[in-house]
Structure 1
Amino acid sequence: MAAAAAAAAAAGGLLHLGASRVPSRRPSAGAAPRLRGASCARGRQPRRRAPPPLAVAAAEEAYTGAETELLDALAGVQGRGRGEVESAVQALEALGGLPDPTNSSLIEGSWQLIFTTRPGSASPIQRTFVGVDSFKIFQEVYLRTDDPRVINVVKFSESIGELKVEAEATIEDGKRILFRFDQAAFNFKFLPFKVPYPVPFKLLGDEAKGWLDTTYLSQTGNIRISRGNKGTTFVLQKSADQRQLLLSAISAGTGVKEAIDDLTSSRQGIEADLNTLAGEWQLLWSSKTEDESWSFVASAGLKGVQIIKEDGQLKNLVRPFPGVSLNASGNICKNEDGNNFNLSINKGAIQAGGLQFPLDARGEFAMEILYIDNKIRISNINQHKLVHVRIANRT
């Protein structure tokens, strides 16, 4: 059923980023020990200038400011959604990018999808497929050959194989590519031959036709925005962003630790302080929470939202059930040793409706920042690795 959905989606031009298992480049960093008796000094901490490399990761150097804003917006919605993403897409389209993209050699090659919308006109099979995060989707564009083609590739996994849906292509103008699907086949790793997909393209007539407008192509050829005849918007990359790979792994629930190792190893030497930590952070993933009490979860910030202020005030907010919230507050201060911080939680409360009850959430913790940029934070606290996404700047 999943393969059939994938085939129909690929034939319809629907693309969606799936999970990617990233090989580890180094062993995971050791867990930060829990402190006993340590506490943060109260009052405003010395302000330090945030290091300039914070806003520009090594993988982002090939992107303009507007392109980086799009990648940051995608990081905030794990590769799908509207709001910030659509605004960032429209901003890039307004800039224009490379003129006449279909006439540029930069449009050629294999592109991986990192975002797609779901228009109301999409078929039920397409809408089902968008929710399947275990697939990786690529689009190959070859316009300067004797047989110009656009090929959508659905990669199920390294052990299963892929589906290719091919279309003959024609350049209509500087932005639009006309295409007609004419063949498709499964290439399973466990079979020595290809399995044709039983779609009668020749009998479909106009249903097998479509067009794709490239509304933005970056000057470096790293990012492309396209809009299809079904009203779908696609954002694609040639070089996969490691943050997107991590978010995709979190969404699929596989390969997260490997993706964390890969991302953290790419940004060594970036120093964090209270200025860079200040803001509101939503927890996306934690390595372990099942065996912990709710008071400990709130105290250590293992679920929900964490708010950090520049003066070192900290608040963790967890909503385990509708109408019920747990909060724990205290202080955070930086150690002299690298990206290590002391967390001191001194009070907590349970709120249910208009009632509030005290919660014993006191605790002392050591937190190591393994990676941080202006959108994502990876930390290690009490043998838990945490991935947060910034949802608001300094408060």
Structure 2
Amino acid sequence: MSSSRGAGVCGRAAAMDEHHGTEVESAVQALEALEGLPDPTNSSLIEGSWQLIFTTRPGSASPIQRTFVGVDSFKIFQEVYLRTDDPRVVNVVRFSESIGELKVEAEATIEDGKRILFRFDRAAFNFKFLPFKVPYPVPFRLLGDEAKGWLDTTYLSRTGNIRISRGNKGTTFVLQKSADQRQMLLSAISAGTGVKEAIDDLASSRQGIEADLNTLAGEWQLLWSSETEGESWSSVASAGLKGVQIMKEDGQVKNLVKPLPGVNFNASGNICKNRDGNNFNLSINEGAIQAGGLQFPLDARGEFVMEILYIDNKIRISNVNQHKLVHLRIANRI
């Protein structure tokens, strides 16, 4: 392994002396000699967000590596998304939770079972204190071949939590899979803090599946919604801002809310996908209040646009009537 001293991230390797750096490099070579997952680029385990825990920095390393790698206060991540309509490798320098991050993105293609080819095409700073992104001042289009590169994954653990990759500039990277973003969202909801940030992270992760009536079909329990104070119970039931939502493949929708023991609000209607991305038109045309064995009509009529921000086989994040909602699938197609 041709390299200079090891340099790491978040204090794990930044303070390494040359002796310890050599020990880590020996451990890297030992892992590469083991039988990790074969053809790692063909495995879904390579997908997701990876935190850099160790890297070497030869003289040919990129300016970003030379500037940010080894700085204790920064965290560095690499996001790999190969099974989407827009395959990408994204390098993220996270300065702090209060300041923001730099994202450097590259188009990606799989060359073989180990190598990913990439071409950097955009980058921007996302500062928490600014309502807009600040472009990173590098004209990737003018760099030609300098914006291109490759990344070989020489080891991917069979559990998918440790990865070793080597870049075309001679740099070796040791990365650890970040905590599952779905679990981070559920933990944030449980703790009652950082939910909006966790929603944004998961919604932008590219890990979800395409939203259509088939993927929406099922029984969904609402886990979290943005502020609903001041909303009437009929509005809550109509928009599905509380309780359970049942969707069928033919577009039928039913919202169920239980404000008190023995008292149920329900609202029924239809949903269909419109032509605008992941937006769906939701029409509620009837409702009822059930108390014991009695039932009374409820005016729950309403027209809404439901934007699906993220969906997979367990979690759904949507935006309805200016409310962000997080649902957990509790039953598959009804």
Q: So what's the TM-score if we normalise by structure 1? A: 0.41
Higher relative contact order (CA 8 A, sep 6+): 1
Q: Which has the higher strand share?
A: 2
